[in-house]
Amino acid sequence: MKSRLTLLSSLIALSATGALAEMNFNRISSFATLNNNGDRAGEESSAEIIGASGDGMTLIYTDS
């Protein structure tokens, strides 16, 4: 019984890794969010909440 449970657990774990392997992030560039502050250029800044469009072509962030 224990060997069946181990085998089943292994099969489930291995089948999930295929789906995870397809998800990846390739950084193609970076930018300083501080440069987008406009008249608040001297203030400390950090991009806290970042979201991407469904097709991954648009990135949106909010400043702290």
Give me Rg for the CA atoms of the chain.
Answer: 21
Predicted local confidence at residue 26, as pLDDT: 78
| Domain with 45 in it | 2-63
- DSSP helix/strand/coil, 51: strand
Predicted local confidence at residue 23, as pLDDT: 65
Q: Indicate the pTM of the whole model.
A: 0.33
Predicted local confidence at residue 24, as pLDDT: 67
Per-residue pLDDT tens over the stretch 1-59: 777 888 788 777 776 655 555 666 777 777 777 777 777 767 777 777 888 888 888 88
Work out how many domains the chain is built from and give that number.
1
